[in-house]
């Protein structure tokens, strides 16, 4: 059940990367959110234009700047890759609860805006990976 979704996500990522690298268009970025596969959090997929410029030269892990900012959101999973134009493709899960009694009220849009020094203003919409591809193309 999880394996087909995994392949669908990476197929969509490959399509996004190839369209971003072949078009040479400057994008405003895109972000979608949906329930995580286990239902205990929210899955986010964000495409941040020129996201590699926010990384520290000594960072070994791609997207470490974004991960550090998002840690306050109680992350369950985090992955980031850069395409050959420097766009960041970020995939992460925010747990729905900070503790067993407290609902997670992290404002992911504001945290991503802060991580990019205010250059990436995002409104993560409810949707799917296909919606992310559409939003990326429309921007």
Q: What is the pLDDT of residues 59-106, one digit of tens each?
A: 767 788 899 999 888 898 999 999 888 889 999 999 987 666 677 888
CA distance 125 to 131: 9
Q: Tell me the C-alpha to C-alpha distance, in Å, between residue 51 and each of 12, 43, 57, 83.
A: 19, 19, 13, 10
Contacts for 82 with CB less than 8 Å, ≥ 6 apart: 51, 52, 62, 63, 88, 89
Tens digit of pLDDT for each residue in 32-54?
999 998 888 999 999 888 888 88
Contacts for 21 with CB less than 8 Å, ≥ 6 apart: 83, 84, 85
Quote the pLDDT of residue 111: 92
Q: What is the mean pLDDT of residues 107-136?
A: 84
28 class by beta-carbon count within 10 Å (0-12 exposed, 13-18 middle, 19+ buried): middle
CB 122 within 8 Å of CB 110: no
Quote the pLDDT of residue 27: 56
- Secondary structure of residue 25 in the 3-state scheme: coil
pTM of model > 0.85: no
DSSP state, residue 124:
P
CA distance 50 to 45: 16
Quote the pLDDT of residue 55: 78
């Amino acid at each position: 059940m999880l394996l087909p979704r995994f392949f669908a996500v990476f197929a969509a990522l490959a399509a996004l990367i190839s369209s971003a690298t072949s078009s040479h268009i400057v994008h405003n970025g895109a972000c979608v959110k949906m329930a995580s596969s286990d239902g205990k959090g929210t899955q986010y997929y964000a495409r941040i234009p020129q996201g590699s410029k926010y990384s520290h030269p000594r960072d070994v892990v791609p997207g470490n700047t974004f991960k550090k900012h998002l840690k306050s959101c109680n992350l369950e999973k985090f992955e980031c890759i850069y395409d050959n134009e420097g766009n960041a493709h970020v995939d992460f899960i925010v747990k729905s609860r900070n503790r067993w009694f407290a609902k997670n009220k992290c404002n992911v849009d504001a945290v991503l805006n802060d991580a990019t020094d205010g250059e990436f203003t995002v409104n993560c919409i409810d949707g799917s990976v296909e919606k992310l591809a559409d939003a990326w193309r429309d921007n």
